[in-house]
Amino acid sequence: MKQIEKIAEAANFTAVNIGKMSDLGGYELALSPEVKIVGKVFGGQAVKATGGEFSFQVFQPGAESGFLHTHKQHEELYFFLSGRGEYQVDGQIFPVREGSVVRVAPAGERSVRNNGTEPLVMLCVQYRGGTFTAEDAADGTILSGPVKW
């Protein structure tokens, strides 16, 4: 089974390498001894994220998530990085492809499938819904010193 590689770490950062998107099939997420999802890897713990979670997942042609799910508090953003497929939220089905982004509220009943001929690769970012404010949008600070490489 494929493992996340740590690149570097210090007090204010952790950097990892998930690997090539074409190699995501080497990961396996075990939800229980009976339920294993091939081609999915969570990365939040690996980078020591404190405000959200993320995962990469690949669906081979004809594959689907196989279930609907919701969340109690977490909103999700799905970024489609390659391939074509369909996404379903609350019974509404629509096409997704490279460049598509889907936001789903916690209560949205969601599922995805690859009905294309190439692997469908997505990045999912999960975070507590309803917490981002206008003040948060201005949280960054541009520093005056030059960037030195």
Task: Let me know the angle formed at the C-alpha of 75 by 41 and 39, rounded to the nearest 5 degrees.
Answer: 15
Residue with more model confidence, 134 or 121: 121
d(CA 1, CA 38): 10
Average pLDDT value for residue range 32-49: 93
Q: Is residue 136 part of a domain?
A: no
41-71 as b/e: b if 16+ CB within 10 A: bbebebeebeeeebbbbbbeeebebeeeeeb
pLDDT at res. 125? 98
Q: How many domains does the chain have?
A: 1
* Domain annotation covers residue 144: no
99: left (phi over 0), alpha (psi -120 to 50) or beta: left
- Domain membership of residue 72 as a residue range: 5-130
* Burial classification of residue 84, based on how many CB atoms lie within 10 Å of its CB (0-12 exposed, 13-18 middle, 19 or more buried): middle
Whether 75 is covered by a domain: the verdict is yes
What are the angstrom distances between the C-alpha of 50 and each of 20, 31, 47?
A: 25, 22, 9
The whole model's pTM is what?
A: 0.92
Query: Over the chain, what is the mean pLDDT?
Result: 95
Residue 35 pLDDT class (50, 70, 90 cuts): confident
Residue 19: predicted pLDDT: 96
**pLDDT beyond 90 at 49:** yes
Tokens describing residue 73: 């508090």
pLDDT at 95: 98
Sequence letter at residue 15: A
Taking Cα atoms as reference points, which of 96, 36, 110, 102 lies closest to residue 68?
110
User: Tens digit of pLDDT for each residue in 53-102?
Assistant: 999 999 999 999 989 999 999 999 999 999 999 999 999 999 999 999 99
Q: What is the mean pLDDT of residues 109-132?
A: 96
Residue 135 maps to a domain: no
CATH number of domain containing 120: 2.60.120.10
CB 82 within 8 A of CB 121: yes
How far is CA 95 from its chain centroid?
18
**Does residue 106 fall inside a structural domain?**
yes
Residue 78 lies in a domain: yes
